[in-house]
Amino acid sequence: MTIGIHRPTQLVINRAAIYHNIATEKSRLKPGVELFQVVKANGYGHGIVEVATVAERAGATGFCVAILDEALTLRDAGFKQPILVLGITEPQYADLMATNRISATVGSIDWLKEAANYLTGDNQLAVHIALDTGMGRIGFQYPEELRTATEYLESSSQFNFEGIFTHFSKADAADTAYFQHQLARWQAFMAVLPVRPKYVHVSNSATSLWHDACNGNMIRYGVAAYGLNPSGVELTPPFELQPAMSLTTKMVFVKKLPKGYSVSYGATYTAQQDEWVATLPIGYADGYERRLQGFHVLVDANYCDIIGRVCMDQLMIRLPHEYPVGTEVTMIGEDHGKTISLQDVADYCGTIHYEIACGFTERLNRTYI
Ligand code: PLP
């Protein structure tokens, strides 16, 4: 993918904010509880290697990713810490994982048996058993299955039973009934576990922030590291999360539109009077969604509406008065006390900030401050 380094549009990533969000959570954990930073999806759009570097400094002792390739990216970048792939990797890559000391998530006995056929080298494959306590995504569903899997692992020299975990689907909600239901299921699984592996982990950001009584001895800390409230606006975090991502650009074209003139594809916007309009070099191919027509950006601490359809690479905004080409525009972030948050963008799009952050494409240049 080509990165747009010769245009004035960039995602600005604040390392100090990420550091603060991780180090503060780490300091709240009970002694001995480790923090693995979740850096899947290019560090939720913030840059996998850069985020991992800050996380390591802030006290993360391992990483979680979604797919094997992300784990290999971290190994290629020189990270030596434990890395857990949270998704199911095809068994044929078991040896590649073992060779690179990458831990696999296991959700069935069949997976173990199949992977065993591929483990031909000397290296053991470290595995974390996933328990489905109510997420309905991956993992063993019943305690008897867990017992069979642990017996299999005990009898095999090819695997190292390194971890066991579950994932809560509603830890970010004020109503805790479903969380309690999942917790009870987790406890029923734990009751049949003959030996506790090295890592026992149940917490994503929301679980760690709001349900710390059941943290296990490692947390999988994701979205909160990026300064985003996992619950959106429903729950208040126990400390201030500092957003790490801003999106800025500059006006590349400014003109006065006469009353009655229309803007962009479909001519969906027509000037009601003579208006100053600027064109910005960003569009939906950068992950700035087409649905953001009618939303706003900040110019000189003024909220300015996005008029007409967002194009693939450009969009137009209405200005309060003339500004010179090259004027700074804040699309996400703060401008003299006014802000546009990822949450604001997500609300306008009818989605969650996770989707907006990781939806920014590689074409957007990321700069680190
Ligand atoms: N653990 C698992 C299994 C996940 O799938 C995720 C993210 O989706 C996380 C942890 C991190 O979650 P969050 O970003 O909400 O902290």
Query: What would the pLDDT profile of 79-106 be if each residue is shown by its tens digit?
Result: 999 999 999 999 999 999 999 999 999 9
CA 312 to centroid of ligand 1, rounded, Å? 31
The rounded Å distance from CA 202 to ligand 1 centre is 10
Looking at residue 69, its pLDDT comes to: 98
- Nearest-CA neighbor of 251 among 284, 275, 277? 277
Answer yes or no: is pLDDT of 308 > 80.
Answer: yes
Nearest to 85 by CA among 94, 206, 337, 110: 94
**Residue-level pLDDT at 212:** 81
Q: Tell me, what's the ipTM? A: 0.99
Structure tokens given for 206: 């929301």
Report pLDDT for 43: 98
Report in angstroms the alpha-carbon separations of 280 from 15, 91, 187, 219: 26, 47, 54, 41
CB-ligand 1 contact for 38 (6 Å cutoff): yes
Kindly state if the Cβ of 230 falls inside 6 Å of ligand 1.
yes
Q: What is the mean predicted confidence (pLDDT) over 320-341?
A: 98
Distance CA 183, CA 165 (A): 12
Residues 6+ apart with CB under 8 A from 65: 38, 39, 40, 48, 71, 74, 83, 84, 85, 86
Encode pLDDT of 257-290 as tens digits.
Answer: 999 999 999 999 999 999 999 999 999 999 999 9
Q: What is the pLDDT of residue 214?
A: 74
Distance separating the N- and C-terminal Cα atoms of the chain:
23
Question: Which positions ≥6 away from 69 have C-beta within 8 Å?
Answer: none
pLDDT of residue 12 exceeding 80, the answer is yes
Looking at residue 46, its pLDDT comes to: 98
Query: Could you tell me the distance, in angstroms and rounded to a whole number, from the CA of residue 222 to the centre of ligand 1?
Result: 6
CA neighbor of 158 nearest in space, from 88, 217, 104: 104
Q: Is the CB of 197 under 6 A from ligand 1?
A: no
Tell how far CA 120 is from the center of its chain: 34
Q: Which ligand 1 atom sits nearest the alpha carbon of residue 40?
A: 7
The chain-wide mean pLDDT, for the chain, equals 97
Question: Is residue 139 in contact with ligand 1, taking CB distance under 6 Å?
Answer: no
Active site residue 40: yes
**Quick one: how far is CA 275 from the chain centroid?**
39
How many CB atoms within 10 Å of residue 303? 14
Ligand 1 binding pocket includes 167 (Cβ within 6 Å): yes
- Which residue has the least CA distance to atom 9 on ligand 1? 204
In this prediction, residue 208 has a pLDDT band, given cuts at 50, 70 and 90, of very high
- Catalytic residue among 255, 256, 265, 338, which? 265
Per-residue pLDDT band for 324 (boundaries 50, 70, 90) equals very high
Query: Which residue in the list 40, 199, 221, 284 is annotated as catalytic?
Result: 40
Instruction: Return the pLDDT at 239.
Output: 98
Q: What is the pTM (predicted TM-score) of this model? A: 0.96
Which ligand 1 atom is nearest residue 130's CA? Answer: 3
Say yes or no to pLDDT of 213 above 90. no
- Of 165, 189, 136, the C-alpha closest to 62 is 165
| Interval 27-41: pLDDT, tens | 999 999 999 999 999
Phi-psi region of 32 (alpha: psi -120 to 50; beta: other; left: phi over 0): left
> For 162, phi and psi rounded to 5 degrees?
-95, -25
Q: How far is the CA of 139 from the centre of ligand 1 (A)?
A: 15
Tell me, what's the pLDDT at 114?
Answer: 97
pLDDT at 122 over 90: no
249 C-alpha to ligand 1 centroid (Å): 31
Residue 78 has pLDDT above 80, yes or no: yes
Three-state SS for 224? Answer: helix
Is residue 113 part of the annotated active site? The answer reads no
The secondary structure of 267-303 as a DSSP string is G-EE-SS-EEEEEES--GGGT--GGGTT-EEEETTEE
Find residue 248's DSSP bridge partners.
10, 330
Q: Which percentage of the chain shows pLDDT scores above 90?
A: 97
**194: pLDDT strictly greater than 90:** no
Neighbours of 272 (CB within 10 A): 8
pLDDT(121) > 80: no
Indicate whether residue 245 lines ligand 1 (CB < 6 A): no
Q: Compute, in angstroms, the gap from residue 221 CA to the centroid of ligand 1.
A: 7
